[in-house]
Every structure is written in structure tokens, then in C-alpha cells.
Chain A
Amino acid sequence: MSLEVLAVDDSRTMRDMLNLALSSAGFTAHLAEDGIHGLEVLEDIEPDVIITDINMPRMDGFGFIDAVRSEDKWSRIPILVLTTESADELKAKARAAGATGWIVKPFDPAKLVKALQMVAG
């Protein structure tokens, strides 16, 4: 069950780490550096799940989720939000934006994989 994952984060370090954790888990990682770039990548691939940061330049995570959700062909893709914020505040925000779940940074690779499995198999 090799998932295809789109990871969107403006921090290069975070992208590198997501990439490493995902590919080490046998997943295929596609990377984008902000919401707009993420939407561009989505035009070319169909990921099983999306991971996105929130605070990014050009288009932040909320804008990105909103854009993904409002497109029929993408509306059911599970989306995990990467965050350092406290859970309650975040839950409400991520939910309102249309996210499926969340991952708290810094993430433990095992937990990341578990979270992915909880939303995408």
C-alpha cells in the first residue's frame, strides 16, 4: 500500500524531512513549497493524501485546503495539517478549513505514518 503523498511546506528543512520520512516508509512523496505551488502539483498528480503546513507565503494552508476542497475532483482527498499549535485551537481551525486531521510538529516519523494510515489506509 504505497501511498502517494503531496507534502506542502515553505520550509526546505521540513520538506526534506517529510520527504525522508515518507520515502523511508515506502511512500511516494511529492513536494510543494506553498499553496499555489501545491495546486500546480495537484494538476499533475493524484495523491492519496495531502500534508500541508499552515503559515506559508503566497497562499497559506487554509487557502490551499479551501482551494482543494472546492474542486470536485480533489474534494475527497484526505488532508493532514502540519502544525505546532495547541490541539484544541488547531482542531477547530483545521476543521473549519476542511482538513481531515493534523500532525503536530516536530513529528515523529512513526506517528506521521500512523496518521497517514488513519486517513488514507
Chain B
Amino acid sequence: MSDPMAEIRASFFIECEELLESLQDGLQLMDDGDTDPETINIVFRAVHSIKGGAGAFGLDDLVHFAHRFETAMDEVRAGRFQPDGEAIRLFFTCADVLGDLVRAARDDDAVSSEVTDPVLEKLEKLVGVEEESEEELDFTPATLSLDLSLDFGGDAGLPNLPDLSDLPMAGADESPLDLSSSEEATEPLVASKGFTVFFKPEPALYISGNEPLYLFRALRDLGDLAVTCHAASLPLLDSIDPDIGHLSWTLTVHTEESEQTVREVFEFVDGLCQLDITPLAAAPVAPSPASVAVVPALPPLPPLVQPEPVAARPAPDPASTATPNDAPVTAAPKPEAPQEEASPAPVKSSATTTSEGTTPTKTTGTPTQPRATVRVDLERIDRLVNLVGELVINQAMLSQSVTEAGLPPNSPVSTGLEEFLQLTRDIQESVMMIRAQPIKSLFQRMGRIVRESSASVGKEVRLHTDGENTEVDKTVIERLADPLTHMIRNAVDHGLESPEKRLAVDKSREGHVTLTAQHRSGRIVIEVSDDGAGINRERVKAKAIEKGLIPAEAQLSDGDIDNLLFLPGFSTAQEISNLSGRGVGMDVVKSSIQALGGRIAITSQEGKGTTFSISLPLTLAVLDGMVVRVADETLVVPLNAILETLTLTDDDVKALGPETHVVQIRGGFVPLLDLGAELGYRPPQESYVGGIALLIGQEDGNRAALAVDAIEDQRQVVIKGLEGSYGRVPGIAAATILGDGQIALILDPTDLVSQASGRTRPRKPQHALVG
């Protein structure tokens, strides 16, 4: 731990991200009409905690903004302000700006007050809080720069204090009730600076956990102290109520400090005692002997509090003055991971919770508590992922050897290997889970994109999200941010109509953009849809012809026209707005998705809206594949692409031409592709009857059958990229090493099918016709 504050600072920014997430969640719930006080509390708490931490690091801009945001949220919390949709949108904006400020603070950057001030002004005007006086706003960042040279050194306690033995206490060895040190008491207190303090605790003082002794010690820190105890009201021993105290004191402190400082000593007991503080110069009274003499007959009392044997403590050894490193190790370990990880429903508070402590009991949509995290270098995880990949390959080889050795399936080696196989899979899943994150963080960022882009084009848009807890590989999430941002902007800018147009066609004034994520047959499917006007196909086609992207006489299906959008540089917007702009088009989106091993498809219905559907592999490292043989070559087909396997019969296969065949499946026809011919291994077969075909499903719902010679096996394979060495090979996704050490290509069936169907279509837009 070189610099503990730097570490805490770094961890503060991580916590801020978690808090910002809770904040977004809470606001989303409020936006959805949730009025649960705990939801509002979560929002409040997130802002409050950010402010608290920021204050400690002296991040003034952040503190300032968070404070005013918090004040507004407090109005909501207190029920003095009922936020409507507009207010909540403003809260969202505040949350966005707060996020900007957090990141700026983290990166030693700044956010212009031109950004923050108008938002705050709007907020305060709306909520109706008056801007606080500067004094209050100042919020004294008593920066915890944690000057470790601060002298609360290793032996701690009270380093600056003289021996406690000089503090006269009840029970000191002289006359039991003459508690003042005799010298000081008799000394005339003429015109010396200081105060006389009369202090009479009420029972509540003791009940609150306060202890006069400690206050006296604090007072003594200010200067010489004389203490006189008034024991007049002390009852006889048998009627003493230990909870009442019975004693009062007159304390005389000689100090240069102000009355304010003296008063601060009694800050915690103010109102719990009778406290009279008079300056010494004004009342140079010698301690009244009466206080000593009132109850002379009383027997010696046991000390109220034993003076602690501080004097006996060895003087602090300068060599052992604390440094951060040898500070005592804290006994408490870091708090364990919050329980929500184990049980999604928050534990109901025990009966002692106050009414304020209502706990969220909903199991869905409840913002999670900030998670406990461990920061691990991504490289280390990737190393683990690679090693597990090697393990999978190794295990496959071992399995093969065992099979070849002819060992019976119930032999110890075989059964052991079986367990090994299961374990390898478990390890692999666990490792993948480390890399996986809920896609929520990405979706939340899109919320902001929608808010900002809709504002800039004057549309009213509401974003709906679903499946945000779907876990996706971290790298995939990171690399999806740009394409998704672009698609969301497109949806707002081009997809949705203006409010007037919407009203004219009987739609709600407010447009809707929906963002969903789900696991579907071994892949992640992310959809961006809008309820706008749909693609204007005539205009798209006209534009494509105008730009020379397709021949004028081209006969294109609706789907083909929609796919023209993915051509480089395609833009149909009549005015180029400042949002989607030029340059980055859907072609870039498409290639980004493809680089992730994903595919993108588009469906559109005129007047109803457009949906972009992105399908991504769960992991970038391994896949479940079907090992097939074609023309004596071994190939791997991703299992998740295969809908079913078919044995081709005479009745099923129909020839449409010399090279074109279709397969009849349950009444429908599906194109049949000869894999051997497609890959150039051999000429097309005469007949496919008796052969085997794999039925492939595509994102756009179209299907195709791939004819193969034989199915060999079904197993997990490690993906070894080819693009580094060979560039992108159409129809081939990657390669793998099989158990016998042989290298096999992994097919990209969808791409293969598209390539094949592209040949029957106009050549030019061929690469745009991927489903």
C-alpha cells in the first residue's frame, strides 16, 4: 500500500459508478410510476454518498453539484415536491451531469459550468428550492488529505496530554471532597484569561452515552484546569441511582482560547446538562469553599470513574511513530459481499427497524445495492481463458487416446475422464462468467443517448429496456457501445417521426425506442426497435440507384431493400441532422458487429417501425460444434446454428435446376446447399438422396439445408482465429484443433448461405445481403 489515499480515491470512483447505476435504476423506477419511499431513498442515497466521498477528496465541483441535486431530491423525499415526467427527465439529466462530473474528477478534468449551471438552475426553479447561501454551500471540504504526519501516532490516545494524574478527580487521595488541586484553588485568579464552567449533567446525558470525565480531559487540552466537584445532592450510598449521577462540577480553565472553543467541548452534551460559561476576567471568583464544606460528614466515596493509569505508560518512542504501514492491522475484514448476491430479495429488516427503514420487497426491478467488487487485471483473466481453452483441447486429445486404446467405458480411466470432462466444462463456464457482465451498464448509457438526441431533434422519446441483466462478455459490451449508440441515434433521428406527424397518424405524441437483450439458442440477441414510420423502401431504392449501388432495373425484395442500408455511405435523411450525421453509417455498425462474430438483421414494417436485431456469440473463445465430414475434410458447424439434422429421402429433395435443389420440410421448401461444392472441394453431386443435411436457421428467419457426408461427433471446440493470418474468409468463421491434433475449419453457416444465395442475385450489392 504505497499511498492509501490514492487507493481509496480509485475505489471511490469505482463506487461512484455503482452509485450512478443505482441512481439511474431508481430514476427509471420513479419514471415508471414507482412511488415507494425506498426507491426515492435509493436515489437520494446515491447522490448523497457521491457527495460525501467527493467532499473528502476536495472535489469541489462535484460536491457543489451533488449537494444541490441532493437538496432537490430531499424535497422529493420529504414529499414537498411531487415529480412529474418532466421533473424526472430533468433528474435524469442531473444524473448524467453528475456522471460527467465524476468522470471528470477521476480524470483530473473539469466540466464547464456552462453545462452544470443551467441544469441546476432549472432544477431549483422546478423543485422550488432556493439557492442556498454561499456559506451553507461551502460545505467545508475539510479535505481528508490524511496528513499522516498528524500526530495521532502509533500509541494513539492523547499524545498532547500531560499526565492524567494531574487531573484532580473525585477519589483523589487528599480530602475526598476537595477535588480542586489545592495550589490552584487558592491562587487568586485575577485577570487571567479563561473561563469558569458550571456543569451539571442531567440523567439524559448519561443515558446518551456521554461521560463527564472525557469532557474534562478535552477541556484540559485547552489549558490548565481546576475542577471542583459539588457533591451536595449526593444521596446516601444505598439510595444512589447510578443512572442519575447526582454530581455537578465547577471547572476553571485558564486558556487563550475563545468561549466558542470551550463551548465546543460540550457540544455533544448541549441541552443535556446545565451549562454556564463565564469569562474569568469578568468573574474572577475563587472556588467557593462552600462547595467543599457542604457535606463534610460524608464518608470517602469510591471514584466515579477510575483515573486511568496513563502516567504509567511509557513515553512514546519516537522511532515507533506510526506510519501508514505499521499502523495496527484492522481486525475487521472487508465487509463480505452483500447478501443480495446470494438472495435476490433483500432481507426484511428485523423488528427494530424504524418505520423509515422500509425495505424494498419487490424482486424485480429493484435497484441493487452497490456490489462488492474485486479488481482484477483483464489480462490475467484472459490468460486464464486461454489456458482453459488449451485444457479443452488437451482433454479432447486424451479422450481420443482412451477411445483408441480400446478401454471399456466402465474402466477407471474412462469414468475418471468423464468426470474430468464435466469439471473442465464447469471451469470453463466459471471463467467465462468472470468475463461476463450484465449488459445493464451499456443500456443505461443508451438512456442518455436517447435523452440527448431526442432533445436535439425536438422529438419526444421514451426508451424501454428489457433483459438488462443478460450477461455478456465484457469485451463484447465494450465494443458494442459505439454501434449501439449509432443505432439508437438513428432510431431517434430517422426512425421516429416528429410529434406532429405522429399525432397525424394516430400515434402517441411520444415515440418509443425499445432495447432488449436475451439469450437465444446459445447466442445473445440484442434488438433495437422503434415504433416509427418504418423504412421508406421507395426512397431507399431510389437512393441506391441514384448512387449507383444497384442497377436501375434491379428487382429487389423488401428485405433486400432494407439491407441496402448497410451499404457504405448510405444515408436517406433529407436533411443531414447533427446527430447521425455523415460518415459513420450502418455499414460501420455492421462491420463492428461482424468483427465480434455477430450478425445484424433488419426488419421493417411501413408505418409500424423498424427493428435491428444483433446476434452475438456468448463467448469469443469456445463453441459447441458439430463435427462433420465433407469430401474427406473434417469441418465444424456451430451447434447453435443448427436447427435440426435431416436424412434426405427421394420425396424430400426437389431439383429446381441443374445446380439448384430444395428440400421439403413439413410442407415448406428450404434451399439445399452442397457444402462440398460450396467450399470448392468437389463438383455438385448428382443426387443427394440418402445423404445428410443440417438445417440452418438465420436471424431473419430464413432457413437453408447444408448437405454433408457424415456427422462424426458433437463437441466443444476452442476457437482459433484465422483473420490474423488469412483475413476474412467468406463462409469460414475460424479454425480449431481437434482431439487427434488435426486442424478443422469452423463454418459460418449463415454467411455461407448468404454467399450462396448472393450468387443468384445481382452481383453488386452482394455483400449487403447478409441476413
Contacts and interface: CB of A to CB of B under 8 A. Distances in A.
Interface stretch (B138-146, B630-638, B709-717): B138-146
A74 to B, nearest CB: 10
Given A26-B153, A117-B158, A119-B209, A45 B331 contact: yes
A54 to B, nearest CB: 10
Nearest to B67: A84
Contacts of A32: 332, 335
B346 A2 contact: no
Contact of B218 (A25, A41, A58, A117): A117
Contacts of A41: 332
B330 A113 contact: no
B332 A101 contact: no
Interface string B695-720: 00000000000000000000000000
Given A58-B359, A78-B209, A107-B142, A30 B152 contact: no
A93 B208 CA distance: 12
Contacts of B7: 16
A106 B208 CA distance: 24
Contact of B49 (A14, A31, A66): A14
Interface string B724-756: 000000000000000000000000000000000
Contacts of B158: 1, 117
Contact of A106 (B42, B141, B147, B153): B141
Given A25-B156, A109-B144, A110-B152, A55 B331 contact: no
B15 A13 contact: yes
A10 B49 contact: yes
Given A24-B327, A32-B335, A100-B209, A109 B146 contact: yes
A24 B324 contact: yes
Contacts of B613: none
Contacts of B548: none
A84 B214 CA distance: 25
Interface string A27-60: 1111111011101010001000000000111111
B596 interface: no
Contact of B154 (A15, A26, A113, A114): A26
A26 B271 CA distance: 32
Given A13-B11, A14-B49, A106-B141, A95 B208 contact: yes
Nearest to A67: B352
Given A41-B332, A55-B48, A117-B214, A105 B55 contact: yes
A114 B268 contact: no
Interface in B132-166: 136, 139-144, 146-148, 150, 152-158
Contacts of B141: 106
Contact of A101 (B153, B267, B354): B267
B253 to A, nearest CB: 15
A38 B52 CA distance: 20
B466 to A, nearest CB: 26
A31 B330 contact: yes
A35 B217 CA distance: 31
Interface in B360-406: 369-370, 372
B450 to A, nearest CB: 29
Contacts of B481: none
Nearest to B351: A67
B239 interface: no
A70 B148 CA distance: 38
A117 B8 CA distance: 25
A116 B356 CA distance: 28
A82 B332 CA distance: 19
A111 B385 CA distance: 49
A55 B50 CA distance: 13
A13 B53 contact: yes
Nearest to B74: A85
A32 B330 CA distance: 13
B446 to A, nearest CB: 27
Contact of A21 (B146, B208, B265): B146
B214 A121 contact: yes
A31 B334 contact: yes
Nearest to B353: A63
Interface in B46-92: 48-49, 51-53, 55-56
Given A26-B322, A55-B44, A16 B8 contact: yes
Contacts of B349: 35-36, 58-59, 63
A1 to B, nearest CB: 4
A105 B208 contact: no
B210 A100 contact: yes
B330 A59 contact: no
Contacts of B140: 106
Interface string B266-286: 011011100000000000000
> Which of A63, A91, A111 has the most chain B CB atoms closer than 10 A to its own CB?
A63
B210 A24 contact: no
Interface string B222-237: 0000000000000000
Contacts of B208: 95, 98-100
Interface in B248-272: 265, 267-268, 270-272
Given A99-B209, A107-B56, 8 more contacts: A3-B156, A21-B146, A30-B330, A55-B44, A60-B357, A84-B55, A120-B211, A121-B308
10 contacts: A12-B12, A13-B53, A23-B327, A32-B335, A35-B353, A63-B349, A101-B210, A105-B56, A113-B152, A118-B218
